[in-house]
Chain A
Amino acid sequence: MTDKDKDLIIDLKTEGKKEMAFQLLVKTYQQRLYWHIRKIVVSHDDADDLMQNVFIKVWKNIDNFREDSSLFTWLFRIATNESLSFLQQKKRRNIFSIDGVSDYLVETFESGAHFEGEELQKRLHLAVLKLPEKQRLVFNMKYYDEMKYEEMAEILKTSVGALKASYHHAVKKIEAHFEGE
Chain B
Amino acid sequence: MKDDPDFPKMEAGYTVPEGYFESFGGRLKLRMDAEPKVLPVHGVLFYLKPALGLAAGLALILTVYLHPYGKQSVIFASFQNGAEMVSDDQSDPLSSTYASLVTDGQFYSALNEMDEFDASKISKDELADYLASNCSDFEIVNAK
Contact = CB atoms under 8 A, between A and B. Distances in A.
A125 B1 contact: no
B15 to A, nearest CB: 5
Contacts of B7: 175
B10 to A, nearest CB: 5
B126 interface: no
Nearest to B25: A26
Interface residues of A, number: 31
B31 A56 contact: yes
B17 to A, nearest CB: 7
A97 to B, nearest CB: 26
A52 B27 contact: yes
B11 A117 contact: yes
A114 B16 contact: yes
Sort chain B's interface into a size bin. Answer: 20 to 34
A115 B31 contact: no
Nearest to B32: A56
A23 B25 contact: yes
Contact of A52 (B1, B13, B28): B28
Given A38-B14, A114-B17, A117-B14, A55 B28 contact: yes
Interface of B: 1-2, 7, 9-17, 20-21, 24-25, 27-28, 31-32, 35
Interface of A: 23, 26-27, 30-31, 34-35, 38-39, 44, 48, 51-52, 55-56, 59, 114-118, 120-122, 124-125, 143-144, 171, 174-175
